Amino acid sequence: MKFLDLDFEERNQYIKNKYGRRVFFAGNKHGVITLVEHIKKNSKPNPELLVPVEGVWGIQFAYKYQVKIKYMIVCTEEMNSNESIMLLETLMDDDSELRAYLVSKKVFNKVSEKANSAGILALCKFPKRDLEDLNVDKNALVVILDGLEILGNVGTIVRSADGTDVSAVIITNKKTRLIHPKFIKSSQGSCFKVPIVEADFKDVHQWLVKNDFRIILTDTRSSLNYYEESYEGRVAIVMGSERYGISKDWYDTDYAGIKIPMFGDCDSLNVGIATTVILYEATLKKKKMLTRFI
């Protein structure tokens, strides 16, 4: 029997037969549907930090990084490839606590944001860490995002942080809500891999001092160019908000400043771009790859 040859009622029956009491039918007003709606609108507390992840690609990412998936919402009518049923079976086989909710196309479209989510939506526990969870080696590089206002910028930076092997992204003066499908999309799933911490300035500063980090603020008014910095030892690069830059708190610390020189007329770069330019410089030096220039 090929799953894709079945009609949607037969598909539902197949899943129900295979996973029995862990499979439910859910209508328009079922608790799991209203839960997704509340999470998306941020209209109720979300203590478990559940976040909806749609489609094969995103859910595979969550699975790869061992993110806990609590519920699957499944629309068999929308399952148009073997990948999505195979992924569902892998997840259900792998975690005996996982429950699946079968829904109609109409109900699925109520909770789904993507056209190509292949009939599967996972409610995952967002893996947010505390400062004390971070495992930093003696050459660690962390990025601190202070008061960033645009979620897409935070997501892009997390993707770049993955690409440059950064130990953690720490958010201070938080202005964005990470529990949002846009964050997963803009980070291209890297948000499940790179450790992310949201914390107060004071706690972050204490943690940095305790762990012997050098604090480097990126500020167009600094005299040192980013490529003149050695980035040796434990380093925390602080990036400021799109509109206001880095908050005063950080200027009261014992810091060094760096800048990216601007050779044209525009006075700054997009914060995601500026962060990545610096992260590559820092990472290549930390990995001793930039000593090639003599």
Residues 189-218 binding a second copy (CB under 8 A) are: 189-190, 193-194
Among 45, 254, 266, 288, binds a second copy (CB under 8 A): 266
Among 77, 146, 162, 198, binds a second copy (CB under 8 A): 162
Among 225, 232, 251, 252, binds a second copy (CB under 8 A): 225
Among 52, 55, 195, 272, binds a second copy (CB under 8 A): 272
Closest separation in Å from C-beta 16 to a second copy: 35
Which of the stretches 79-87, 111-119, 122-130, 281-289 binds a second copy when contact is defined by CB under 8 A?
A: 281-289
Can residue 29 be called a binding residue for a second copy (CB under 8 A)?
no
- Judged by CB, which is closer to a second copy: 21, or 292? 292
Q: Residue 74's Cα: distance from chain center in Å?
A: 23
- Judged by CB, which is closer to a second copy: 136, or 277? 277
Task: With CB under 8 A as the rule, give the number of residues binding a second copy.
Answer: 39
- What span, in angstroms and rounded, lies between the C-alpha atoms of 143 and 263? 25
Which of the stretches 35-43, 129-137, 172-180, 273-281 binds a second copy when contact is defined by CB under 8 A?
A: 273-281
* SS3 per-residue string spanning the chain: CCHHHCCHHHHHHHHHHHHHHHEEECCCCCHHHHHHHHHHHCCCCCCCCEEEEEHHHHHHHHHHCCCCEEEEEECHHHCCCHHHHHHHHHHHHHCCCCEEEECCHHHHHHHCCCCCCCCEEEEEECCEECHHHCCCCCCCEEEEEECCCCHHHHHHHHHHHHHCCCCEEEEECCCCCCCCHHHHHHCCCHHHCCCEEECCHHHHHHHHHHCCCEEEEECCCCCCEHHHCCCCCCEEEEECECCCECCHHHHCCCEEEEECCCCCCCCCCCHHHHHHHHHHHHHHHHCCCHHHCC
Q: What is the side-by-side order of every strand in the sheet holding 120-125?
A: 23-25, 99-102, 69-74, 120-125, 50-54
Among 10, 165, 212, 232, binds a second copy (CB under 8 A): 165
Which of the stretches 47-55, 168-176, 207-215, 259-267 binds a second copy when contact is defined by CB under 8 A?
A: 259-267
- Judged by CB, which is closer to a second copy: 36, or 189? 189
Which string of x and - marks every residue 228-247 that binds a second copy (by CB under 8 A)?
x-------------------
Closest separation in Å from C-beta 257 to a second copy: 18
**Residues that bind a second copy in the complex, under the rule CB under 8 A:** 156, 159-165, 188-190, 193-194, 225, 227-228, 260-266, 269-270, 272-273, 276-277, 280, 283-284, 287, 289-294
